[in-house]
Homo-oligomer: A and B are copies of this chain.
């Protein structure tokens, strides 16, 4: 079985390598900050969450509690709010599954079990975790996160956290990862391996992985902020950049328009976690 500290460290290092890779069009990276969120905020958030990933890799903690703890721990040193919410939703079940696995191929089966075993209490905790953070979630017909009534509905209907993700899965890639068995996260790890084996540096492999995942799946955060039309265009542009290589202009354009494909960055983090856990040494 993967060792607790190794699992937690792989999760944290995945976050650090992702935010450090540059240029990563539209997002904070080691060479550009946003006005309200800087590169150092991401560093602090990543370190703060190590102890929670460690708990996720131990037995006896509930997924909903861990999500709430991770949101709180992200703020141990940095004050820019939660910059890792999507990554938390991927990494918590992956860390829990890793502790029951001795190879990556087992992890795929185990993470499905982990999310299947979530409860109504986990769903309630998930809603509580939104209370102190600014996460853009498209309102559902019911289960609006800003509506206290939602928690009562969850309890009355005995919805599990997986049920809640199911409801969001049609317009949220992270929720869809939960319901589909994390296919994009695992595919990302395969893609990373291909880029690395082609001779790309660590940095460039991560950048290419980001572009490829963005080209294949419109970014949830971009869709929620700017609508489907813009999000599809951004993905089409990522495809073009992968073929023709004008990444610096693409970065400048997205930064100027404040289009940050944050969900794609979350997927990259999940894929890098699998890659580090699976044996990447650099």
Which residue numbers of A lie inside 8 Å of B, CB to CB?
5-6, 8-9, 12-13, 16-17, 20, 30-31, 38-41, 43-44, 47-48, 50-51, 76-79, 202-203, 276, 280-282
* Shortest beta-carbon distance from A104 to chain B in Å: 16
CB-contact partner of A13 in B17, B20, B38, B47, under 8 A: B47
B281 A51 Cβ-Cβ under 8 A: no
* Shortest beta-carbon distance from A170 to chain B in Å: 36
CA distance A151 to B268 in the complex (A): 48
This chain: copies in complex: 2
B43 A77 Cβ-Cβ under 8 A: no
CA distance A48 to B47 in the complex (A): 12
* Shortest beta-carbon distance from A45 to chain B in Å: 10
Chain A contact surface mostly: helix
CB-contact partner of A282 in B8, B44, B203, under 8 A: B44
B281 A79 Cβ-Cβ under 8 A: yes
CA distance A211 to B117 in the complex (A): 54
B9 A50 Cβ-Cβ under 8 A: yes
B17 A43 Cβ-Cβ under 8 A: yes
Q: Which residues of B contact A16 (CB under 8 A)?
A: 16, 43, 47
CA distance A78 to B16 in the complex (A): 14
* Shortest beta-carbon distance from A276 to chain B in Å: 6
Q: Which residues of B contact A9 (CB under 8 A)?
A: 47-48, 50-51, 76-77
Among A6, A9, A16, A48, which residue has the most Cβ atoms of chain B within 10 A?
A: A9
Closest to A3 in B: B51
CA distance A30 to B12 in the complex (A): 18
* Shortest beta-carbon distance from A109 to chain B in Å: 25
B47 A12 Cβ-Cβ under 8 A: yes
Q: Which residues of B contact A282 (CB under 8 A)?
A: 40-41, 44, 77-79
Q: Which residues of B contact A6 (CB under 8 A)?
A: 76
